Structure formats: C-alpha cells, structure tokens
Structure 1
Amino acid sequence: MAALSGDWSVSPSTGESAWARVEETSAPAGVRRRATALAERLGFAGERLEHVRLAVTEAATNLVKHAGRGEMLVRVVRGGERAMLEFVSVDRGPGMADVPESLRDGVSTSGSLGIGLGMIGRLADDAGLHSRPGEGTILFARFRQPGEGPDACPSAGPPFAGLTRPLDGEEECGDAYAARELDGVVHAILCDGLGHGPLAARAAAEAVRAVRGIDAPTAAGELLDRMHRGLAGTRGAAVAAVTVDPAARRVVFAGLGNIAGWIVAPGRRRGMISTPGIAGVRGRGYREHGYDLPAGAAVVLHSDGLTGRWDLSSRPDLLGRDPLLAAGALLRDAGTRHDDRSVLVIGAGRR
C-alpha cells in the first residue's frame, strides 16, 4: 500500500481489490482485464491505460514463464479524495541472482514483450523489486490517478504498507487496516473481525470507520478505545493500535485480542503486549505499552492468519526497502489459507 500523506490510508473495499493465481498461460489476460477495469474506474485512458496494461501483463507473464506459478494482487489505494492503482506480484520461484541486470532497460525476462522488468519501473510512478535465489520474487508497481500531480499525490509516501487477503473461497475479507503519517509520526490500526465472511468484514469496517474521523494526532490507547466502542453491535474483533515515532525512537502499542505486534531490527525482534479480550464485546483493563525503537527497525502488525514462523530480523535487505516488499514477503511466507490474512509494516526505510 502506498501511503497518501496526511489522510488515512485504508485497506481496499471488496470491489477495489482482487487476488489472482497465475499458473497457466491464459492467466495474464485475466489479470490484465481486472487491472483494466480498476484503472478505468479511476479515469485511466489512452496511453496511460496502456502503460498499466503493459506492466501488468509483463509481471504476470514473468510468473508463468520463470516462477511456474505465483499470485498477483491488483487494487485501488485510497487516501482521502486521492487514489492510486497498485499491483503486487509474489512467487516462490527460483528467484534472481542478478537483480540489477534484470532491471536494466531493454532486458526482457519473459522472452515475449521485450520490455523487461526495468521497463515496468519506467512505466509506473513507483516500483520495487526484491528477489533472492531459491526464495522467490516480490514486485510491485504504482500508478498515480490521472489529474494528480506529484505534489498532490506522491507516488512514494510515508513508510508503511499493508496487505489483506480473504480466506480462500470468500469474497470479503474480515481483516482491515488504517494508517496515516502526521508530523513524522505514524498512527495505525489493524483489525481482525471474528470469523470470516460478510459479518467479519462488517466488524472490520466499523473499526476503520471509528478512527477515520480523527483529525488530530491520537494516542494508541485512544485509537483502541474508539474501535472498542465502535464495534459494539457487531460480532466483535481482535484489534491493535500503534503510534510509531522514528525521531523519538519510540513505539506505543495497545492491543485487545490476538493481533500480533512486533518490533523488528537487524538481528532481533521483540513482541509487544496485547490484552486478552474481544473488542466491542468484552475488554476491560487494556492499556498502552511503550517500547524503544532501534535505528533501522520496523514495526509489524499481523492477524492470526499469519503464523509466527517468520524472521525479518535476519533480512536487512527487506528492512531497508519499501515496506510493501516486506509485507509481501510476510504474507507469502507466513500466510495460511485457512483464515483471512492481514499484515501491516511500519517504519522500514526506502533505499
């Protein structure tokens, strides 16, 4: 998720986000159709629409030809009245030993289009790639909504990114997030509605709605309290709220339920304390906890749709990059198909 600075950036609605498995030679056409429909909804047309279609097709074709199989997400990212189109490609293929060579202009990795991964970066307003031999590849690209200049809608926003994915077979995701940056401080929430399907999605939407109306900087405990009250009348949810202040090297966390919160630095990670309970149903006695934020660290929140079997602390190559790459790696490596999945990464630098 590319952040749109100053406004709450939230997880996309059901109609503005689509995951697709890319395993057959016919799959790139399907991903291209989905991307085209979302791009046209945002006003893309003519040459700019063709840029989106070319980039998506190249990414999907690479999955089939080189990874054998993979997955792509195409979505609309909104913040206030502004929006961007974004796609993310993930695979567990052989990976690339020479990423700079793969990104060189004119190098085609698919043997078909002849534009290569480097051209995806030239077509998009922002793009990133991470690949390691034997582990696979993560690629993203972002396209500014037509009519938005660079100052009105920066392509590379504040340092946070989230991903959500519904349980296989479900249309709606019961997990949701919201995040924003004010004066260098990131305020964010993650919610996991109980169960899955429409009722869980409704609970998650209510949690997001409870915080989106907040204009001023807000403490993590107050964000959690607003979600707790906003979720009354729903089936309830596990929720967490966090404020991350890189300048002060400080993180404040408040959680109710089993949202996992971690501070991850090179060589180590530290869990943050959440209070047992269900937001909107029962949850007395929850409180904020403060933690030091080491230099170069990231903060990770995720639902129980991800296992604890991940370790970004040994991956400084991901910690120092766009947080969407780290979020993609976590969803790929630790996500389970037996639940809704969500992850939010905060504080990883851009390089």
Structure 2
Amino acid sequence: MDSTFSSYKIEDRSLVAFIKREIHNLALQAGFSVHRAAETDIIVAELTSNLIKYANGGEFLYRSREVKGHNEIEIYCIDNGKGIDNVVKIMNDGYSSGNTLGHGLGSIKRLSNDFQIYSRKDWGTVQYVRICEKADTFVSREESGFNSAVINVNYPGELVCGDGYHVKYTAKGFQIFVGDGLGHGTNANEAVEMGIKAFIRSKGEDAAEILKEVHEAVKKSRGLVASIACVDYKTETWNICGIGNINTRIYKGLENKTFTPYNGIIGMNIPRTMKSTIYPYAKHQIIIMHSDGLRTRWNLNEMMSIIKQSSGVIAASLYKDNLRGTDDATVLVGKII
C-alpha cells in the first residue's frame, strides 16, 4: 500500500521552510538527482507562495511513492479562497493577478510530470502535482480501464493511519478494499493492515465471502470496518458488500447509487448471512469509497464540471469540502474509462 499523505495547514510562511526541506529530503531519498530535487524546490515554493498570497492559506498534502518502477512525489494544494475565473488564462507565462512576473503556474506545469488545477469562483482551488525522479518520464492521466486515486491522512498527531486501502487485479477484473480500523493510532493501523493482507491472499470472487475470510483473519486485532467492490469484466458486473460505515457510491452522469453496508465489526461480530449487491459495470462510471473521516452529505452533481476531472482532483475536492478532522480520513475515487 502507498504511504499516507503528510498534511499541513499553511496560514503564513512559518511552515514553508520546514515543508520545503522535508520534500527536498524525500526527493533525495527517492533517488532524485540534486538538479531534480532543486526543481522540486521551485514547485513547492511557487505552490506555497500562491497559497499564502492569493488564498490566505490552505492545506498542503504530500507523499513519496514508487509507481511502475519509478519514484515520484505527489502533492495536493487545497484552499478555500476566492477561486480562479479563467484557469486557462493564468496558466500562460507572463500573466499575473498581482504585482509579480507571472511565471508561477507556468513554471509548475513545465517542471512537473503532471499538473492539474480545478477551481470555482467563491469555492476555492485544488491543485495536483506529480513529480517523477526523471523529468522526461511520461505520465498518462487517462489510460483505458480503471484509473484510481486515493487521498488518505492520519488523525492529527498520529504517526500511522488507521485507514487502509488496496486495489487488486485478478484474471477476471479487479477488486477494491477500503477499511478503517477501530479508533486511530497503532492498534487501528495493525487491524486494517491485517485486513488488507487477508484481502490480498483471498482467491474469492464474491465480496461478501471475502469479507468473511477477512473477519476470520483479524479476530486477534482491535477490529475494523470495510467494504469490498469486485468487478467481473466478462459478466460486466460490480459485486459489492460492506460491514460498518465505509461509504460507497457509483455515479454515471446524473445517476448515482449508494450501497448500504451491513452493521457489525469485522473481527468481532458480523451478520450470519450476508449477500453482495450486484450492479451493472459500464464505462464512464465513477466509484467513490471513503471512511467516516469524511462527511457523507455530498453530491457530485452539485459540483460544476467535477465529473470531467481526474480521479485525484475529484478525491481532493471531496476531501476539501467534507473532511471532519476528528479521525483518520481516506477517500478513493476510480473512473472507468
């Protein structure tokens, strides 16, 4: 499983030097050259500077991970500022909304391997940056099949996350697991990690049956809640089941379906009989699964043009508007292309 995101609220410049140093060190540890790490410094400086100058602060998320044999750093920069009226216009070098040279966003786009920005007036802005160890590494945003992104952060003050997730590809399709260990901290993390390992080992094809296997495997843990969504390409179906309070929804255009989980705690007490929900699988669907670190009263249809955005931007937008801030938080978004 990928590492969780480090999260910092930036309201003034007091944290900027620390964050720049942390990300610079992450880059070097991930095998970035000194030159590439310096380019990463420029990106971080531009993002944090804009956050302070134009949005009066916001949240900065980052992590290092390995993807398809290369190392990279992911950054989300999120604010509740006045928003941007014309994103395309401000991406051009030389444009400035203040008394600057106006090279900020253009520099970020040039130096990163992927840069995405979504903004609405009086709502704020979400920026996503992906920096690979090699500047010429090609990053495809919309490969055919299933494209997913996850934002997961620890409960404030904890060093480990009690939430967890895993996407597993099978001969017939793929399976998604999102879980939340009871409470937060080390014991919650141990519970969800045990659940993920049992999920990875399972050869099952039915979500309810896989949850039963997970239940048996984690009985010595604190316990957890989890939902599993399985796709079978041949039958073109979703097979979904959950225990606890992981929120699962599938959107296609204006239509959406919420999948209600069973009551119970995996590893302690689960229903004697459970049945997975079968639902049609089709292109252009969006599946969203999140822990109770996010509020559940949201609707993608109320967010202008958000469905057209990447999985990561959708995840960050939901995180931005619905974070409770009282627990670990995980939101997984997958698009069927």
Q: TM-score with structure 2 length normalisation?
A: 0.88
Letter in 2 for 1:307: R
Once residues 91 and 341 of structure 1 are traced to their aligned partners in structure 2, the CA distance between those partners, rounded to angstroms, is: 18
Once residues 83 and 135 of structure 2 are traced to their aligned partners in structure 1, the CA distance between those partners, rounded to angstroms, is: 37
* Matching residue of 2:331: 343
Once residues 226 and 53 of structure 1 are traced to their aligned partners in structure 2, the CA distance between those partners, rounded to angstroms, is: 46
Of 76, 84, 89, the residue aligned with 2:77 is: 89
* Matching residue of 1:142: 130
Q: Bigger CA drift: 216-225 or 252-261?
A: 216-225
Unaligned runs of 5+ in 1: 1-9
* 1:1-351 matched pairs, under 5 angstroms: 10-12=1-3, 17-79=5-67, 82-108=70-96, 114-146=102-134, 150=138, 158-181=146-169, 185-213=173-201, 218-244=205-231, 250-283=237-270, 284-293=272-281, 296-315=284-303, 317-347=305-335
Asked if the contact 2:250/2:257 (under 8 Å) is kept, the reply is: yes
Provide closer, same or farther for how the CA distance between residues 141 and 301 of structure 1 changes in structure 2, counting only shifts above 3 A.
same
Provide closer, same or farther for how the CA distance between residues 107 and 286 of structure 1 changes in structure 2, counting only shifts above 3 A.
farther
Once residues 150 and 101 of structure 2 are traced to their aligned partners in structure 1, the CA distance between those partners, rounded to angstroms, is: 31
Letter in 1 for 2:195: A
Per the TM alignment, residue 105 of structure 1 is displaced from its structure 2 partner at its CA by 3.2
Provide closer, same or farther for how the CA distance between residues 259 and 87 of structure 1 changes in structure 2, counting only shifts above 3 A.
same
Provide closer, same or farther for how the CA distance between residues 339 and 123 of structure 1 changes in structure 2, counting only shifts above 3 A.
same
Once residues 305 and 203 of structure 1 are traced to their aligned partners in structure 2, the CA distance between those partners, rounded to angstroms, is: 17
Which secondary structure state, in structure 2, belongs to the residue aligned with residue 131 of structure 1?
A: strand
Per the TM alignment, residue 291 of structure 1 is displaced from its structure 2 partner at its CA by 1.4
Per the TM alignment, residue 42 of structure 1 is displaced from its structure 2 partner at its CA by 0.5
Deviations 1:216-253 (A, max 9, x none): 79543454344323322110000111124689763221
Deviations 1:176-199 (A, max 9, x none): 111245689442110100011111
Asked if the contact 2:94/2:101 (under 8 Å) is kept, the reply is: no
Per the TM alignment, residue 340 of structure 1 is displaced from its structure 2 partner at its CA by 1.5
Identity %: 27
Letter in 1 for 2:3: P
Per the TM alignment, residue 72 of structure 1 is displaced from its structure 2 partner at its CA by 0.7
Matched positions, count: 334
Once residues 147 and 96 of structure 1 are traced to their aligned partners in structure 2, the CA distance between those partners, rounded to angstroms, is: 28
Which secondary structure state, in structure 2, belongs to the residue aligned with residue 51 of structure 1?
A: helix
Asked if the contact 2:283/2:336 (under 8 Å) is kept, the reply is: no
Once residues 347 and 184 of structure 1 are traced to their aligned partners in structure 2, the CA distance between those partners, rounded to angstroms, is: 18
Asked if the contact 1:211/1:227 (under 8 Å) is kept, the reply is: yes
Deviations 1:94-150 (A, max 9, x none): 110001012123445675685321321221111211000111111111122459954
Per the TM alignment, residue 59 of structure 1 is displaced from its structure 2 partner at its CA by 0.9
Asked if the contact 2:162/2:186 (under 8 Å) is kept, the reply is: yes
Once residues 217 and 146 of structure 1 are traced to their aligned partners in structure 2, the CA distance between those partners, rounded to angstroms, is: 39
Provide closer, same or farther for how the CA distance between residues 294 and 154 of structure 1 changes in structure 2, counting only shifts above 3 A.
closer
Per the TM alignment, residue 88 of structure 1 is displaced from its structure 2 partner at its CA by 0.6
Provide closer, same or farther for how the CA distance between residues 328 and 76 of structure 1 changes in structure 2, counting only shifts above 3 A.
same
Asked if the contact 1:194/1:238 (under 8 Å) is kept, the reply is: yes
Unaligned runs of 5+ in 2: none
Which secondary structure state, in structure 2, belongs to the residue aligned with residue 242 of structure 1?
A: strand
Once residues 232 and 91 of structure 2 are traced to their aligned partners in structure 1, the CA distance between those partners, rounded to angstroms, is: 34
Asked if the contact 1:23/1:70 (under 8 Å) is kept, the reply is: yes
Asked if the contact 1:323/1:346 (under 8 Å) is kept, the reply is: yes
Once residues 217 and 82 of structure 1 are traced to their aligned partners in structure 2, the CA distance between those partners, rounded to angstroms, is: 31
Letter in 2 for 1:12: S
Q: TM-score with structure 1 length normalisation?
A: 0.85
Asked if the contact 2:168/2:200 (under 8 Å) is kept, the reply is: no
Which secondary structure state, in structure 1, belongs to the residue aligned with residue 13 of structure 2?
A: coil
Larger Rg: 2
Provide closer, same or farther for how the CA distance between residues 278 and 309 of structure 1 changes in structure 2, counting only shifts above 3 A.
same
Asked if the contact 2:225/2:265 (under 8 Å) is kept, the reply is: yes
* Matching residue of 1:3: none
Provide closer, same or farther for how the CA distance between residues 145 and 205 of structure 1 changes in structure 2, counting only shifts above 3 A.
farther
Per the TM alignment, residue 84 of structure 1 is displaced from its structure 2 partner at its CA by 2.2
Q: Bigger CA drift: 171-180 or 34-43?
A: 171-180
CA RMSD between the two structures:
2.8
Which secondary structure state, in structure 2, belongs to the residue aligned with residue 347 of structure 1?
A: strand
